[in-house]
Amino acid sequence: MGPAQTNLSLPVLKLSQWFAGGSARDAFIEELGKAAREIGFFYLTDHGISHEQQQQVMMLAKRFFQLPAAAKESVQMLNSPHFRGYTKLQGELTGGQPDFREQFDIMREQLAIEAPQLEADWQQIIGPNQWPDALPEMRSTLLDWQQQLTDLTVILLEAFALALKQPADALQATIKDGPYTHMKLIRYPRRTNTQQTQGVGAHKDPGYLTLVLQDDQSGLEVETADGWVSAQPLAGAFVVNIGELLELASDGYLKATYHRVVSPPVAEERLSCAFFMAAQLDAEVPLLELPPELAELAQGPASDPANPLFYQVGENVLKGRLRSHRDVAQAHYQRHHAA
């Protein structure tokens, strides 16, 4: 049995049950399968990442956003064909509308592929991060955090495979050179009028799964059969959700759930750190063969002309990036932008 969940709208899963092995692990997989199928969102606690480290990352986010505009703009995303760096308030679009949030994005630290070797547009996502001179400790703190969250998501991916009644390594081939990872530090300022409440508009995440660390302000909301519910902060927990690649791999048995953030009404701001994990960009997501009792509930992935889903991972990731960051698209991906 999980802990009492009196007024939380989402299930709480303890990763310590996975680490314990045996029947505790089996129970974890069972709960994971249920949470993933029914809501596609849950809280993860007892995951082994310390509260101190979580606080350190949130503190860094706070300090970054407090830097003078010029310092933040020195690492603006527009400089980067790899979609790394700072995006100012309303600089990102969701559902075609500007999001009232500012953010700092990093991904894996890699060398860019030189133009003559570029074979597909999505390969331009690969490259170095931008780091602000004004916060020299940012690089090591965030790269260390990125590694820990990568390890955590690799464990979760194995658990998802088991929950889908597959071998534990069913998706392993798609991350063998290291998964694609993308992290955002985000600040949502207080709403200044009642019209402007889109912290981030309703969307699905394009990868396999997402971990969100949030401060003590609510605002993250999840679409359920009963309407939008709040993923209110739970101290120390990560909010975990399923992205489009797990929907594709499971032929729609699991659904990438729509979610959004509503700007805080009263508090000055809400801070969060989102971590997206996908298969490596050159992978194709396999269509898993589900056992009959799951297959009969799998109705195929969503087919939405406004949001095509691609099994080719780089294509799916690039789709999301181009849509959200039109200025970067225009500056660095002319061909796509024109399309």
Ligand X SMILES: O=C(O)CCC(=O)C(=O)O
Residues near ligand X (CB under 6 A) are: 184, 186, 200, 205, 212, 214, 220, 259, 261, 272, 274
Q: Of 17 and 84, which has the nearer Cβ to ligand X?
A: 84
146 contact choice in Fe ion, ligand X, none (CB below 5 to 8 Å, kind-dependent):
none
Residue 245 interacting entry, from ligand X, Fe ion, none, C-beta within 5 to 8 Å by type: none
When the beta carbons of 31 and 205 are compared against Fe ion, the nearer one is 205
Tell the smallest beta-carbon distance from residue 200 to Fe ion (Å): 7
Annotate 8-20 with b (16+ C-beta within 10 A) or e (fewer): bbbbbbbbebbee
Q: Does an H or E element contain 160, and which?
A: helix 138-163
Size of the site for Fe ion (CB under 5 A): 1
Minimum CB distance to ligand X smaller for 205 or for 251: 205
DSSP-assigned letter for residue 327: H
Strand 238-242 to 209-214 pairing: antiparallel
Of the two residues 205 and 247, which places its CB atom closer to Fe ion in the complex? 205
Range 257-292 burial, b when 16+ CB lie within 10 A, else e: bbbbbbbbeeeebbbbbbbbbbbbbbbebeebebee
158 binds Fe ion (CB under 5 A): no
Amino acid at 93: L
Choose from Fe ion, ligand X, none: what does 174 bind? Cβ within 5-8 Å by kind: none
Contact partner at residue 186 from Fe ion, ligand X, none, CB < 5 to 8 Å by partner kind? ligand X
Q: Tell me, what amino acid is at 293?
A: E
* Minimum distance, C-beta of residue 257 to ligand X, in the bound complex (Å): 10
DSSP string, 88-116: -TT-SEETTEE-S-EEEEEE---PPPPGG
Shortest reach from residue 150's CB to ligand X, in Å: 17
Q: Which of residues 57 and 170 has its CB atom nearest to Fe ion in the complex?
A: 57
Of the two residues 132 and 201, which places its CB atom closer to Fe ion in the complex? 201
Residue 212 or residue 249: which is nearer to ligand X going by CB? 212
* DSSP codes, 260-277: EEEPPSSSSEEEEEEEEE
Q: For residue 134, give every residue at least 6 positions away whose Cβ sits within 8 Å of its Cβ, in sequence order, or none.
A: 67, 71
The Cα 261–Cα 92 span in angstroms is 14
Question: Of ligand X, Fe ion, none, which one does residue 184 interact with (CB within 5 to 8 Å by kind)?
Answer: ligand X
b/e map of 55-77 (b: 16 or more CB within 10 Å)? eebbebbeebbebeeeebebbbb
- Min. distance of Cβ 54 from ligand X in angstroms? 14
Give least dist CB 259 to Fe ion, A. Answer: 6
The residue among 105 and 205 lying less far from Fe ion, judged by its C-beta, is 205
- Which of Fe ion, ligand X, none does residue 185 bind to, with CB < 5 to 8 Å depending on kind? none
In whole angstroms, the minimum distance from the beta carbon of 94 to ligand X comes to: 8
List the beta bridge partners of residue 275. 183, 211
- Neighbour count for residue 142 (Cβ, 10 Å): 23
Report which secondary-structure segment, H or E, holds 334: helix 334-338
Cβ 246 to ligand X shortest distance, Å: 15
Candidates 92, 205, 244, 247: give the one binding Fe ion (CB under 5 A). 205
Binding site for Fe ion (CB under 5 A): 205
